Amino acid sequence: MHSIRIDPAKCTSCQMCVKVCWEDVIRWDEGAGKPIAMYPEDCVVCGLCEVLCPAGAIEVIPDWQSKRWPRELSRAPNAATIIPS
């Protein structure tokens, strides 16, 4: 799974990452007063949270192997030559 690392020491609780995360991956944790990566499985690694965090407190580490992708690119018999292993 992709991992979203939020450094609580650097985080200033501005909530920018919560606002920019259009996939609803990052939520606001009222209790802690900090953002939380609630649904990392839905992160698409757009990187908006990383580039817009004013404190540089977020890092997204992709794990592309964990993402499912359709197996069959083509129905044609020879197409096997282009299907990734």
Using CB under 8 A, list all residues that contact another protein: 18-24, 27, 38-39, 42, 44-48, 50-52, 60, 62, 64-65, 67-76, 78-79, 81-84
C-beta of 9 vs 82, nearer to another protein: 82
Minimum CB separation from another protein for residue 72, in Å? Answer: 5
Identify whether the C-beta of residue 20 lies closer than 8 Å to the C-beta of residue 48.
yes
How far apart are the two ends of the chain, measured CA to CA in Å? 20
Q: Greatest CA separation found in the chain?
A: 57
Which is it for strands 58-61 and 3-6: parallel, antiparallel or unpaired?
antiparallel
Minimum CB separation from another protein for residue 38, in Å? Answer: 8
Minimum CB separation from another protein for residue 8, in Å? Answer: 22
